[in-house]
Structure 1
Amino acid sequence: MTSPSNVSLSYRDAGVDMDAGDALVEAIKPFAKRTMREGVMGGLGGFGGLFELSKKFKDPVLVSGTDGVGTKLKLAFMLNRHDTVGIDLVAMSVNDILVQGAEPLFFLDYFGCGKLDVASATDVIKGIAKGCEQAGCALLGGETAEMPTMYPDGEYDLAGFAVGAVEKSKLIDGSKIVPGDVILGLASSGAHSNGYSLVRKIIEIAKPDLEGDFHGRKLADVLMEPTRIYVKPLLALMETIEVKGMVHITGGGLVENIPRVLQDHLTAVLDHNTWTMPPLFTWLQQNGGVADAEMHRVFNCGIGMTVIVAKENAEAARAQLEAAGETVFTIGEVRARAEGEAQTIVL
């Protein structure tokens, strides 16, 4: 059968390059292979990723999480830097499931674009594989969708999905937190993947030289520093010390995330003098005229993860985390909540 106009069209004519998609799959196979771990069945290319739950779990609970990178991607497009946003993608999901005590087992990604550029897409997925290695989970599969006219030229979107497992008896839900418990703060690597709409607005106003020196590094490098993945040090800590609660400091900052693990009768009292806000956040605050309360609500302000432990375990926990390479601050404590009091107070 011929078309009414006698034109013979292909999928490529409609803007979809299937050969480019095949080339991307071949390019990323070596990086995905490095993430393989016990439990993976088969490799990339099937309709679904297969994973066998380890017999080490006696009464497992599966914990899942999904997230994206947000408007940090806009900065990646502007700078033409695609090698770290994949780490951000993994971090946002694995850090989330970690706080409930889960060991990340596998990760899936979704990459959507208008026209597939194999080189930049490979950089992105290499970053995803690197993030999976840092988290100890397998890159089990994913989806690459080329959709002409859906995205501006040179742009793409990312979504990630992580699944982990924890023994039911070791699930961390904050129910054991009591007044007097200590809150440890683990240093962030930067702004992680939150607040970038405000970051970009401040850049638009301040017009800095992104390639210029910023405390010994290029400002662009500081802004694109990927989200820190806390999985391995915290899984090890949970093996030796009772962790009562953990909080991944994402959108909402310290003030809105910590209450997520506190019962209604408790409040977290933080002392902002116990850690030094990194230069990036000082620069953002000064150039954007951002109020202190807004800073604490939008950005992590230098604390990417909090860990709540009994007072008698605080020093041992801090020492173990520091030995594992984390920078740790004792940033506050839990106390009984007065009527009408906020659940997070920053002094």
Structure 2
Amino acid sequence: MNDTNFKPAGYDIDLGNACSRNAYAWAKKTFPNRAGQPGEPAQDLDGGFSNEICFGQERLGISSDGIGTKIEVAERVGRFDTLGYDLIAMVADDLIAGGFVPSNLSNIIDVNTLDYDVIDELMRGLHDAANFSRIAVTGGEIAELGNRIGGWPGARMNFNWCSTAVGALHPSLKSPLSGVTVQAGHAVVALRSPSFRSNGFSLARRTLQSLYGDNWHTAPYTGSDAAELGNTWGEVLLAPSLIYAPAVAHLLDAGLPLHGIAHITGGGIADNFQRVLKNNGVGAELDNLFEPLPAMQKLTKLAGISPADAYLYWNMGNGMLLVTEEAQAAAVVSQLQADGYAAQVAGRITAEPGIKLKVAAGELVY
């Protein structure tokens, strides 16, 4: 792309990152309010996926997120019982990336007008995802906001759904997983993502709208993964997020060494993995990542975007990256596979900064 102002998704990732940094800078100015008291924030996870608060010797993680514009896909398809997996994945996997085992979640559903059956579907799905993750849903609110909440005009109910989760630092860890112990020569293990998860939907929807019009969600999907994801583009995009937290907690239970974890969400592999590597100037060469889902490859071509951009907007089949010691990489992969997750050694940490992806589309350098 020669036009540096072109934004394939209609939004600016760099501006979003700048706004997030600014917002966090203001938030950090409040940290002294709890200095030396219960709830004191620690700062060893600056720029990480969650934050840390201390209650005496107890170290807790806290994370907040939502499921974004994937909600419109659910409104279009008329199915709402899978979104709970997305909501929990966004916060639980951010917590486990810091070594915090998720335990409790509070959520808020903002709606334009109430529909009992839609709320019931949402909460039933949240219940199922919480059971999968061994999380207790201990707080929540439903707020009816009228025309302050919009969405697809044909929906039974327009809404937005966000949550905050907390968890305790795994007892095997003396401090959170910030990436500070990552060294050149360490191995990188990738966990496969069987769906788009809950990121990159603005670009996906924009592309499909331009191709198929207002009812793009009913357009047939004929990719090789149709049996896994669905036969329409709406079903493909609605496929729920896989929650990695239980499997990673099991690795820590087994005493397997982890030095850093990247949850691959908005910003893709490079942007998120850099948050793990920032503390000591190392880089990574990833030459054995999982292949992008066929649906992602098809959308890349349909959207007319470069592979480099696609790897920034979507996870491209890789939902989490774990840094472990080379001698233990095979054991980490074996444990993850035993728990039912697709995992493989994806590359290694390099002494040189920067992230290099060697994928079917070529070599991508960030």
TM-score interval, smaller chain: 0.7 to 0.9
For the residues of structure 1 that align with 2:312 and 2:148, how far apart are their CA atoms?
33
- Structure 1 length normalisation: TM-score? 0.79
User: Is the 1:270–1:346 Cα contact (8 Å) retained in structure 2?
Assistant: yes
For the residues of structure 2 that align with 1:269 and 1:212, how far apart are their CA atoms?
33
Paired letter, 1:164: G
Shift of residue 275, structure 1, vs aligned partner: 2.5
For the residues of structure 2 that align with 1:130 and 1:275, how far apart are their CA atoms?
27
Report the counterpart of residue 190 of structure 2 in structure 1.
185
Shift of residue 282, structure 1, vs aligned partner: 0.8
Shift of residue 76, structure 1, vs aligned partner: 1.4
Whether 1:232 aligns to 2:246 is yes
Shift of residue 274, structure 1, vs aligned partner: 4.2
Whether 1:210 aligns to 2:219 is yes
User: Is the 2:330–2:345 Cα contact (8 Å) retained in structure 1?
Assistant: no
Deviations 1:144-198 (A, max 9, x none): 1112222236211111110001146152111111000011100012110000000
Counterpart pick for 2:78 among 77, 80, 86: 80
For the residues of structure 2 that align with 1:286 and 1:327, how far apart are their CA atoms?
26
Report the counterpart of residue 176 of structure 2 in structure 1.
171
Report the counterpart of residue 155 of structure 1 in structure 2.
158
User: Is the 1:256–1:344 Cα contact (8 Å) retained in structure 2?
Assistant: no
Report the counterpart of residue 355 of structure 2 in structure 1.
344
User: Is the 2:190–2:318 Cα contact (8 Å) retained in structure 1?
Assistant: yes
Deviations 1:41-62 (A, max 9, x none): xxxxxxxxxxxxxxxx993211
Q: Secondary structure at the match of 1:194?
A: coil
For the residues of structure 1 that align with 2:290 and 2:87, how far apart are their CA atoms?
27
Report the counterpart of residue 276 of structure 1 in structure 2.
291
For the residues of structure 2 that align with 1:311 and 1:264, how far apart are their CA atoms?
18
In structure 2, relative to structure 1, the CA distance for the partners of 1:119 and 1:190 (3 Å cut) is same
Paired letter, 1:69: I
Q: Which shifted more, 311-320 or 275-284?
A: 275-284
Shift of residue 205, structure 1, vs aligned partner: 2.1
User: Is the 1:190–1:280 Cα contact (8 Å) retained in structure 2?
Assistant: no
- Structure 2 length normalisation: TM-score? 0.75
Report the counterpart of residue 337 of structure 2 in structure 1.
322
Query: Which of 1 and 2 has greater Rg?
Result: 1
Deviations 1:123-153 (A, max 9, x none): 1111111221121110112001112222236
Q: Secondary structure at the match of 2:148?
A: coil
For the residues of structure 2 that align with 1:274 and 1:228, how far apart are their CA atoms?
17
For the residues of structure 2 that align with 1:99 and 1:109, how far apart are their CA atoms?
21
For the residues of structure 1 that align with 2:281 and 2:111, how far apart are their CA atoms?
47
Shift of residue 261, structure 1, vs aligned partner: 1.0
Shift of residue 328, structure 1, vs aligned partner: 0.8
Q: Secondary structure at the match of 2:143?
A: strand
Counterpart pick for 1:293 among 290, 299, 308: 308
Paired letter, 2:329: A
Aligned residues: 286
User: Is the 1:87–1:227 Cα contact (8 Å) retained in structure 2?
Assistant: yes
For the residues of structure 2 that align with 1:121 and 1:130, how far apart are their CA atoms?
14
Whether 1:98 aligns to 2:96 is yes
Q: Secondary structure at the match of 1:275?
A: coil
In structure 2, relative to structure 1, the CA distance for the partners of 1:67 and 1:291 (3 Å cut) is same
Q: Write the mapping of 1:7-18 to structure 2, written as runs, cut at 5 A.
A: none
User: Is the 1:88–1:193 Cα contact (8 Å) retained in structure 2?
Assistant: yes
For the residues of structure 2 that align with 1:141 and 1:266, how far apart are their CA atoms?
40
